[in-house]
Amino acid sequence: MSTLKKVLAQKIDEHRPRTTKLLKEHGDVKVSDVTIAQVIGGARGVRCLVTDTSYLDPMEGIRFRGKTIPETFEALPKVPGSDYPYVEGFWYFILTGDVPTLEQAQEVAADFKARSEVPSYVWDVLRAMSPDTHPMTMFSTAILSMQRESVFAKKYREGLSKMELWDPMYEDCCNLMAKLPTIGAFIYRHKFKNGDIVAPDPKLDLGGNFAHMMGIDHPYDDVARMYFILHSDHESGNVSAHAIHLVGSALSDCYYALSAGINGLAGPLHGLANEEVLRWTQNFMEKLGDKEPTEDVVKDALWETLNSGQVIPGYGHAVLRKTDPRYTSQREFCLKNLPDYPLFKVISMIYKVAPGVLQEQGKAKNPWPNVDAQSGVIQWYYGVTDYSFYTVLFGIGRAIGTLANLTWSRALGYPIERPKSLTTAMLEDIAKGK
């Protein structure tokens, strides 16, 4: 058994009594009161999920296993010759809460390599799809097509006790995690590089190998490591994470669950916003022609978007009430690596102007940028200009946290999710105090 699996099994044994005690001794303690606005308004702010892998504070932003983004990058073992950590080490960290040693991160890297071969029928499925299929549809389909590989589904059919369900779920999640970068890079090369596929290099770590399969040189390997870790986890209430948790709660395996989450991530109010940001910015720059993007010109363009009833992509958030630290982290990367790049300058100008415009409009509760406002410019700079691909990158990252969560959900025996609905007439009666 790998070190990671041994440590995880021990952590699960230690954690289970905490959940049992909360349920048995404190099950009737109130956590949230729910208002009619929350019932109608997408359960915003209703505290009714447990997530131990990460916590999102509205003012501070995300913490992975208690660590801020800079603390996470600082603590994890780095890939030799790189400024960024092993994604595989992050997988160890998010699953267990322990910072792995370099050897432990490399053990996961070797384990992933052994699991990384994608069944050839997946390539047949992707090649059979219409050329105008969106990369997210391809990604979701590729994941779903591998459901027949599920160890969890097989073991469940054979009859496995509830206490043991986490083990095949862990195996499935590792198998899937190890294959996602190869699938993502295949979709990119198949769709945007005339099908000129680059074979994986078994010597490289997950981030390095992804850059290699994309066909892009250093420092794109660092971009991949940074990008996957930054997008990994944002508690469980966001659409992709929640969809994955929800589908998994029916004891569907992780192929079904992740595919569902990827479908949610493909919505323009969620992960697809990174594509929308680039589309908006490119349209804006085209209209601008040779003119300088002054503050006034940017302001006018933002108002035009708002006045036409559309949202400003990359701005606002359901939980955050300040600039997303995932935005800041990517901005710092840009300031170091591409400070004078014209597209970055436009993105920075939007950052200067958009919060004021949104505040003046007075609708958005959070006028500050989220992760999606800054991610596309980095991709564009390194040659990935086909922005319909960007959300696939988000999806590979998002799998890390959500698959770790799914493993823990099976370990702690969380039940099938089933909130209760009311009719509008019932809400009207409640409003009248009946």
Other beta carbons within 10 angstroms of residue 287's beta carbon come to 11
Query: CA nearest 49: which of 404, 419, 385?
Result: 419
Q: Is there binding between residue 304 and ligand CMX (CB under 6 A)?
A: no
Tokens of 260: 């569902």
Q: How far is the CB of 37 from ligand CMX (least distance, A)?
A: 10
DSSP symbol at 420: P
Q: Is there binding between residue 89 and ligand CMX (CB under 6 A)?
A: no
CA distances from 101 to 7, 52, 79, 163, 245 (A): 13, 21, 12, 29, 30
Dist CA 35 CA 299 (whole Å): 36
For residue 372, indicate whether it is catalytic.
yes
Q: Which of residues 32-61 bind ligand CMX (CB under 6 A)?
A: 44
Q: Is there binding between residue 314 and ligand CMX (CB under 6 A)?
A: yes
Q: How far is the CB of 73 from ligand CMX (least distance, A)?
A: 20
For residue 26, indicate whether it is catalytic.
no
In the set 65, 270, 326, 398, which binds ligand CMX (CB under 6 A)?
270
Torsional class of 147: left (φ above 0), alpha (ψ -120 to 50), beta (otherwise)? alpha
Pairing of strands 54-57, 61-64: antiparallel
Q: Is there binding between residue 238 and ligand CMX (CB under 6 A)?
A: yes
Q: Which stretch binds ligand CMX (CB under 6 A): 121-129, 174-182, 312-320, 341-349?
A: 312-320
For residue 245, indicate whether it is catalytic.
no
CA distances from 60 to 45, 63, 93, 183, 233 (A): 16, 8, 21, 34, 15
Q: State the number of binding residues for ligand CMX (CB under 6 A).
A: 22
Q: Is there binding between residue 248 and ligand CMX (CB under 6 A)?
A: no
Residue nearest to ligand CMX (CB): 316
Dist CA 181 CA 204 (whole Å): 12
Q: Is there binding between residue 302 and ligand CMX (CB under 6 A)?
A: no
Catalytic residue among 231, 372, 386, 429: 372
Q: Which stretch binds ligand CMX (CB under 6 A): 29-37, 99-107, 168-176, 268-276?
A: 268-276
Closest CB to ligand CMX among residues 172, 372: 372
Closest CB to ligand CMX among residues 141, 240: 240
Q: Which residues are catalytic?
A: 270, 317, 372
